[in-house]
Structure 1
């Protein structure tokens, strides 16, 4: 049984450049057999190639962080924030809950340290945004949501034309709603499920404000790790959207024309981390960016690519209500799914197989 909550889409050092040997029917079979638990949308050169359950709302997990990255780039380009501003690590650590992010936040800080990017226990604001996307640091996410303004980030959903997107809220803080003794688990499940979306977000924001002031760490020390029933409610209530919406977000980034050049440049520096993880990608792609995420029950990925031949692909694939075995199976195949969506012949074959 997995104990960590915000499971990362784990990326190896060889991520994406080439597909590994696989059974091509594993994911296709799952999608065909589980229409309420899977969705896929692929756009090739502005033409929709695959759309399965395009408007089925599902929890986004960490894929939602793309929205924050876009608002970060917009505010940085407008001079509202300074990407070079030095941020104390202690300010970020206020929102870090040990063992709830798959080691993302400590891994990001170790990566910074190895590259001498930490100065007097501070990091550049741009590196905070990069850590949110590449490492999926939830602490960085909560900090940036506060820095940029939750209301401002949510207002950008309209600018991006995302009609099916739920408002964002502090998802680390949300965990405290489920921080109860085991004896109170069933009652808490019932109470939190009955909260309206507005009331739920308000409670999460109030907890965020407490964490922001928790300089001595006493409030955070009171955290009780939720059991799986509580984790399921937390996962179900994460901000949701559709594969159509997220493929459209990727298409906007990939077009190089939707955002002003200054915004695009900053956004590229945040989203196109796969080139740093695997330099071999430069031999295949001109542009390549993505953000995936997961919980114990959810697996998502949204990505874009432009090949050296000039083909542009934007896609999103979501899974929800997974069992542990299904999660393991699908997560192992995610790199290959991405490759197959990008490859013209492979994606066409997948579309044909899914249509049967």
Structure 2
């Protein structure tokens, strides 16, 4: 069974001289032929190179965690939190729902063990933020929403000039709205669809607060893994935005001038994880960062890169309402599309192909 929400770990090649596969053209065809289910926006050196459905709002899945990373960096520099603070793993595990994140949270903890970063069952707060982005730990995300304050996180939507962005709420807690037996699925769907955006977010926050106090795990034990029909409604109601807005976020990070230098330094340490997983990227890029996300129906990625020659690319690609076969094809080729957006000749060719 496919997890509800899991990470998209896109490992960029340490060079741009790859061979375009025939399957990659299927992605171009999908972008051209599915105007309601796909969008792509690419900015090269401050010039918009590709604009496919730039303002079509779509679910973000875990790409939304970039906003939380930005608020973390801001509060760290403002002295509102200490990145070196030791956080009990037990506090993070309160928000962990097994089998709903593609092993992201356990995988993150395994890496910490290999790096000897766990001391007396605690980890540095900065590593919590890194695990939210690189591994896409949903438990870390909910914990940070609580530490940073949801209102403070959402204030970034105005600061970053994102007028089309939906309010951010605890998206893992939202799963409990769909925890229903097969006999009760239809009722759960009707109830969830009938909630206004404000009421929906309030319900999710209330569940989040219950998880925070669920030290014996009794509340989580009652969770029922949602059927696919329920997952679809949950996926559709995830916070949404547009490729134009998320490419703009990546452009702000990549510019090295939008955020104060101290904030930029913290943000780099969180977002530029591709250097950690593939040191060969340093042979090509001065900076590279990204955050993607997915559900069983959604696939997103937003990224930025600056080559050693000084060329900068910021981009976002979103897909929604995917069938299982489409999801498998697109997820396998998403890294290829990312590279085609970054490479100068490849991005020009991609723009030409999409214009046909």
TM-score, normalised via structure 2 length: 0.98
Q: Unaligned regions of 5+ residues in structure 2, if any?
A: none
- Pairs aligned (count): 354
> What secondary structure sits across from 2:157 in the alignment?
helix
Structure 2 match to 1:157: 157
Q: CA deviation at 1:190?
A: 1.5
Task: Determine whether 1:91 maps to 2:101.
Answer: no
Equivalent pair of 2:9/2:135 in contact (CA under 8 Å):
no
Aligned partner of residue 171 in structure 1, secondary structure? coil
Other-structure match for 1:264:
264
Map of 1:345-356 to 2, 5 A cutoff?
345-356=345-356
| 1:25 has 2:25 as partner | yes
1:147 shift after superposition = 0.4
The Cα of 1:8 is off from its aligned counterpart by: 2.1
Once residues 298 and 182 of structure 2 are traced to their aligned partners in structure 1, the CA distance between those partners, rounded to angstroms, is 23
Q: 2:289 is matched with which residue?
A: 289
Q: Provide the rounded CA distance (Å) in 1 between the counterparts of 2:76 and 2:349.
A: 42
> Which secondary structure state, in structure 2, belongs to the residue aligned with residue 40 of structure 1?
strand
What are the within-5 Å matches in structure 2 for residues 90-129 of structure 1? 90-129=90-129
**Residue 252 (structure 2) aligns with:** 252
Residues 274-353 of structure 1: pairs in structure 2 closer than 5 A: 274-353=274-353
Q: CA-atom RMSD, angstroms?
A: 1.1
**8 Å Cα contact 1:132-1:141 kept in structure 2:** yes
> For 1:258 and 1:16, how far apart are their aligned partners in 2?
27
* 1:71-123 C-alpha deviation (Å, 9 max, x unpaired): 00000011111000000000000000000000000000000000100000000
CA contact (8 A) 2:27 2:333 kept: yes
TM-superposed deviation, 1:158: 0.5
- Cα distance between partner residues in 2 of 1:20 and 1:58: 31
Mapped contact 2:138–2:172 kept (Cα < 8 A): yes
Find the aligned partners of 1:11 and 1:63 in 2 and give their Cα distance.
13
Distance of 2:222 and 2:4 partners within structure 1: 17
Unpaired segments of 5 or more residues in structure 1? none
Query: CA deviation digits over 1:222-264, x for unaligned, max 9?
Result: 0000000000000000000000000000000000000000000
